[in-house]
Structure 1
Amino acid sequence: MKITDIEAFAVNIPLVPFEDGGIAPYVTNHNSLTDMDRVLVRVDTDEGISGWGEVRVFLTPAATVSIIEDGIRPLVVGQSPFELEALRRQVFVEYANADMFFAPVEVACWDIVGQSLDKPVYELLGGWTAPSQTNTRHREHQGDYSNEDDYGNDHEIEVAYCLGILSPEQSRQRAAEVLNEGYSVLKTKAGRDWTEDVARIEAMHDEVDGELSFRLDPNQGWTIDQAIRVGSKLADAGIYLQYMEQPIRVDAHDSLAGLKRQTRQPIGPNEDTYIPHNLRRLVAAGAIDVAVLDLTPAGGITGLRQEAAIAADAGIPAVHHCAFDLGIRTAAILHAVHGIPGFSLPPDSVYYGWEDDVIADPFDVADGTLRVPQDSGLGIEIDRDRIEEYRIA
């Protein structure tokens, strides 16, 4: 089997407004979103099997599409989609990191391989019988994982609810709703005002009487002294985060290690893990408690598996990051965290926040979980009419 063509499609899909139960505007320390651009990638083969991948927009939709079609396509057309390691290693662009643009192509190749073998991707990854993909709350009613028959009926992945920067009162309101909907983890953006960040966590924690775990993500928005104050104030209030995600700027590993020593809150670098070899450096520096990984900067599922192994070897739990994923990348993430050992914390998701999707049978978030598709490959069917409806000219 050979790859014959690659085509990329840029789409823009709106988010559900907050007052209608959604998350828009989704406010971070650097932007505010009411819709989101995504690029969908189809990889064709000479045996009539096509696979799909998805990636966020870099620079502009047109630029992202051009790099994939004009830059990545010539490097992989004529190659076998089964030879994923060879493909990944030969996609080299001098003075640039091509991994993020190759990632949706790599995911599409996994989709093709799974369809060809009539197996879902998670089975090809080899780790799906591990008990780590759901937390204790769900394991209690899902049976003993030592019994393969019990586990074979369970393919639900708990996800963390993600929320932008809101007022303490709005955050309080949504926290109660999130708990009522069956979630056990809520992640909120931060970084514009560290005192407000503390106030929002305290308000949510008070509203749910400590029944939710929280992640706090300032996207590098704090200085180290602010991060120390946030961690200390929350600990003084009896609030212990699941982790603080990338609290300070990237490549400041000594400072991050110092922060880790001075706070009782776990540290979860994210953007730092996007930089090649940084995960090993973070481990060596003692600057990481949780590895917040993402398959796109990793170059796809194969690279993600290698990063998860690094974290596992260091005894560090891994969790998958969310980048406003439609159904294609959501499916890829579900297969990855279900099939790769080491992902012991619920992946982030904003899937509930979309007004629409490009897959024919959108996912249903039930009791704070998403079900891993069971059909071959990624297990999803693309709705081409919806792609055309939302396509960016």
Structure 2
Amino acid sequence: MQIIDVSAMTVDVPLVGLDEHLGIGPYVTNHGQVDSMERVLVRVDTDEGISGWGEMRTFLSATATEAVIEEGVGPLIKGQSPFELERLRRQVFIEYTNVELFFAAVETACWDIVGKALGKPVYELLGGSSAPEQTAAMNADAADMESVTDDEVEFAFCLGILSPEESRVKARQALKEGFSVLKTKAGRDWRQDVARVEAMHDEVDGRLEFRLDPNQGWTLDQAVRVGATLEDAGIYLQYMEQPIRVNAHDSMATLRQRLRQPIAPNEDTYIPNNLQSLIDSRAMDVAVLDLTPAGGIAGLRQQTAIVEDAGIPYTHHCAFDLGVRTAAILHAVHGLPGFSLPPDTTYYAWESDVVTEPFEITEGRMRVPSEPGLGIDIDMDDVEAYRV
């Protein structure tokens, strides 16, 4: 089997508005807001008529992203076997550029092809289901365990920066829908960040765990004050995600020593070799990984091995994922050992999806597809309806 074509197409799908149930648009962070999100769909075709799909966000522009994939990555792998994933990953190298970001969606499509050719879901190709029981054990009590099936993955609810009162409403909705963890953005005003978490914690009587993500938006002293203030209020976060800027590993280690709040680098993990530096610096309690900057599922597998060997728990990041990348995350988290905390998701807040059978979220969980490959098909009518 040989790869004969690599193509990319961009869609722009709106988020459901805040005034609707579980709506989160506009989604506000410390560096902007979004009402919709451009996602690049990548298709890899083979000479045996089997095609696979991947997905990523746009970088710079839709045109630029599509060009790098079609005119840059595509020619490097055409005529080669999609089964040779590790070789392809190491072969796609461009000096001075982290091309892994663009290769990841192509690599995911190759996993999809291989699974379809062998009649196996991707998680079986990774070694079978390994994470769900660990995740359930970490996040559910004995009574809840009876309702958890081994083909489901629990997710965390994600929320942008809102007023404390608006956040109360969304926290109540998230709890009612069965989520046990809520991640909220932060970083514009650390005092408001604290007030928002306190309001949500009060609204749900402490029945939700919280993640706080300022996207590098605090200075070291501000991060200390946020963590300490929440401790004084008796609120212990599941973790603080990338509270200060990347590549400040000694400062991150200092922060970790000052607080009892767990520290979880995210953007830091996107930079090659930073995982080992974070481990050596004793700068993280949790790793928030992402298969796209890792170069795909195989790259993610390599990263999980590094942090698992260090005895550090890890979870998976969300990047406003439609059904294709959501499927890839489900298979990766289900098939790779060691994912003990729920991945993030905003899937509940899309106006629509481009897969023929969108995922359902029940009690904060999604079912891992058991069909071959990623287990999804693309509705080209929906693609055309949202295409950029």
Residue matched to 1:6: 6
Alignment of structure 1 residues 75-90 onto 2, 5 Å: 75-90=76-91
Per the alignment, residue 61 of structure 1 pairs with 62
* Structure 2 counterpart SS, 1:18: coil
Uncovered stretches (5+) of structure 2, i.e. residues with no partner? none
2:304 to 304, 308, 313: 308
For 2:86 and 2:145, the matched residues in 1 are separated by: 36
Structure 1 counterpart of 2:373, which letter?
G
Shift of 1:137: 1.6
User: How far has the Cα of 1:141 moved from its partner?
Assistant: 4.4
* TM-score, structure 1 as length reference: 0.96
Is the partner of 1:39 in helix, strand or coil?
strand
> Separation in 2 of the partners of 1:344 and 1:70?
39
Which one of the candidate residues 187, 193, 202 is aligned to 2:183?
187
- Map 1:196-345 → 2, pairs under 5 A: 196-345=192-341
Separation in 2, partners of 1:140, 1:75: 52
Q: Distance in 2 between matches of 1:42 and 1:87?
A: 16
Dislocated runs of 4+, deviation >2 Å: 133-136, 138-143
Q: Does 1:102 align with 2:103?
A: yes
1:342 Cα deviation from its structure 2 partner: 1.1
Q: Which amino acid aligns with 2:140?
A: R
1:136 CA drift (Å): 3.8
Distance in 1 between residues matched to 2:102 and 2:162, nearest whole Å: 33
Measured against aligned partners, the alpha-carbon deviations of 1:309-329 in whole angstroms (never above 9, x if no partner) come to 111001100100000000000
In 1, are the aligned partners of 2:139 and 2:341 still within 8 Å (CA)? no
1:147 maps to none
CA deviations on 1:137-191 (whole Å, 9 max, x unpaired) are 2774445xxxxxx99x621111000000000000011111111110000000000
Residue 137 (1) aligns with residue 140 (2):
yes
Cα distance change on mapping 1:63 and 1:139 into 2, 3 Å: farther
Q: Look up the SS of the partner of 2:7 in the other structure.
A: strand
Structure 1 residues 139 and 317: CA distance shift in structure 2, 3 A: farther
Aligned residue for 1:166?
Answer: 162
Gaps of 5+ in 1: 144-149
The AA in structure 1 aligned to 2:54 is: G
3-state SS, counterpart of residue 307 of structure 1: helix
CA contact (8 A) 2:130 2:336 kept: no
User: Which residue of 2 is the match for residue 367 of structure 1?
Assistant: 363
Q: Secondary structure in 2 aligned to 1:358?
A: coil
Match of 2:385 in 1: 389
8 Å CA contact retained: 1:81, 1:110: yes
- Return the alpha-carbon distance in structure 2 between the equivalents of residues 27 and 79 of structure 1: 43
Helix, strand or coil: the match of 2:237? Answer: coil
**1:10 and 1:40 in contact (8 A); partners too:** yes
Q: Name the aligned partner's letter for residue 109 of structure 2.
A: A
Tell me the secondary structure at the aligned position of residue 59 of structure 1: coil
Contact 1:164 1:189 in 2 (8 A): yes
TM-score calculated relative to the size of structure 2: 0.97
How far 1:113 moved relative to its partner?
A: 0.5
Q: What residue in structure 2 maps to residue 176 of structure 1?
A: 172
Is residue 56–residue 292 contact of structure 2 (8 Å, CA) maintained in 1? Answer: yes
CA-based RMSD of the aligned residues comes to 1.3
Change over 3 Å in CA distance of 1:282–1:33 after alignment to 2 = same
Counterpart of 1:118 in structure 2 is 119
Secondary structure of 1:214's counterpart equals strand
- SS of the residue aligned with 2:298? helix
Measured in 2, the distance between the counterparts of 1:298 and 1:110 equals 15
Matched residue type, 1:7: S
Describe the shift of the 1:312–1:127 C-alpha distance in structure 2 as closer, same or farther (beyond 3 A).
farther
**Partner deviation per Cα, 1:241-263 (whole Å, 9 max, x = no partner):** 00000000000000000000001
Aligned residue-pair number: 385
Q: Percent identity, aligned pairs only?
A: 66
